[in-house]
């Protein structure tokens, strides 16, 4: 028994040493960085890109360089809540006030609550919340969890295929290994036809993280509850909590997080007024 434990410990040390070696190699390959790119490319970040490309340094370098170019143009860290607040009025996507059992930030997505038609603004809103979820990860945690509630969803408010494809592309190419798990709760049968197309846009690693949950399927319900405390899960998702998205309170929370984001990435002129008239810090949104 002790020999097995020692062997396991040695295996982990060997894996860690290999990872450290690859991270150093990728750092050299990327070369000197500055500004937000330097702040973005932490060792944990480099490790995620390496994991996404099976520890191939050349492929990881290409992927990371593409992300840095995308971030320099799209500037996701510069998006502020007042730019996307309209998208969030119905609570179609928001950061939950609880974490999963591994301490990961949780995003709740409710496609049945779609309230706008601009694909660009919808993606901008999602990117903002991805950045916000990352900002609120506990130390040592790099991933988030998604809970997708299909209450009220129908083919009439379905995400266009083009939008789904672009969203998946951004998530996989520019936020690699950020998604820890995604539960699709009680999707209607008609969604299956849409899923048959969308799943081909997913790489295998992402595909393996997507789990379907049906209230009458005990195994799928138990799997979801192994990731979440039942007391935290909204009743709409089979839990015991009351879902209560309050847009005004969530907006206060996001405004405070915008200040935190600006402090992390550097000064931001757009927030100068917020520093003088920001609302009191709101409590985490109850779900």
String of DSSP letters for 141-191: ---EEEEEE-TT--GGGPPPHHHHHHHHHHHHHHSTT-EEEEEEES--TTH
The three state secondary structure string of 249-271 is HHHHHHHHHHHHHHHHHCCCHHH
CA distance 196 to 176: 23
Give the DSSP H/E element, type plus range, for residue 93: strand 93-99
- How confident is the model at residue 136, as a pLDDT? 95
pLDDT value at residue 235: 92
- Is 68 within a domain? yes
Residue 278: predicted pLDDT? 44
One domain for residues 168 and 208 = yes
- Considering the domain boundaries, does residue 41 fall inside one? yes
For residue 269, being part of any structural domain is answered with no
Q: Are 85 and 94 in contact (CB under 8 A)?
A: no
Q: 284 in a domain, yes or no?
A: no
Question: Tell me, what's the pLDDT at 1?
Answer: 53
Q: 276 in a domain, yes or no?
A: no
Q: What are phi and psi of 12, to 5 degrees?
A: -65, -40
CA angle (40 as vertex; 39, 44 as ends), nearest 5: 110
Low-confidence residues of the chain: pLDDT under 70: 1-7, 267-287
Is the domain of 106 the same as that of 194?
Answer: yes
As for how many domains the chain has, the answer is: 2
Residue 249, domain extent: 81-264
Same structural domain, 117 and 216: yes
Note whether 219 and 176 are same-domain residues.
Answer: yes
Nearest to 265 by CA among 33, 32, 30, 37: 37
- Model pTM score: 0.89
Question: For residue 241, what is the DSSP state?
Answer: B
Q: What is the pLDDT of residue 283?
A: 41
The CATH code of the domain that includes 96 is 3.40.525.10
């Amino acid at each position: 028994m002790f020999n097995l434990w020692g062997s396991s410990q040695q295996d982990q040390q060997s894996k860690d040493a290999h990872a450290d070696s690859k991270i150093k190699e990728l750092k050299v390959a990327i070369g000197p960085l500055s500004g937000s790119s330097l702040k973005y490319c932490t060792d944990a970040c480099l490790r995620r890109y390496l994991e996404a490309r099976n520890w191939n340094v050349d492929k990881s370098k290409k992927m990371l360089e593409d992300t840095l170019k995308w971030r320099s143009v799209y500037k996701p860290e510069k998006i502020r809540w007042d730019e996307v607040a309209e998208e969030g009025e119905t609570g179609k996507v928001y950061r939950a006030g609880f974490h999963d059992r591994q301490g990961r930030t949780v995003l709740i997505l409710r496609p049945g609550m779609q309230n706008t038609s601009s694909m660009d603004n919808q993606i901008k809103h999602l990117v903002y919340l991805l950045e916000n979820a990352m900002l609120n990860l506990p130390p040592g945690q790099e991933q988030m969890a998604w809970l997708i509630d299909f209450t009220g969803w129908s083919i009439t408010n379905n995400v266009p295929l083009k939008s789904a494809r672009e969203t998946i592309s951004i998530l996989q190419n520019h936020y690699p290994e950020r998604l820890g798990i995604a539960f699709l709760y009680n999707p209607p049968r008609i969604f299956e036809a849409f899923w048959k197309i969308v799943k081909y846009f997913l790489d295998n690693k992402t595909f393996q993280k997507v789990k379907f949950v049906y209230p009458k399927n005990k195994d799928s319900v138990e799997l979801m509850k192994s990731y979440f405390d039942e007391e935290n899960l909204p009743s709409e998702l089979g839990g015991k909590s009351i879902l209560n998205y309050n847009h005004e309170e969530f907006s206060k929370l996001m405004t405070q997080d915008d200040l935190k984001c600006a402090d992390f990435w550097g000064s931001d002129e757009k927030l100068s007024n917020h520093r003088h008239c920001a609302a009191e810090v709101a409590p985490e949104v109850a779900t």
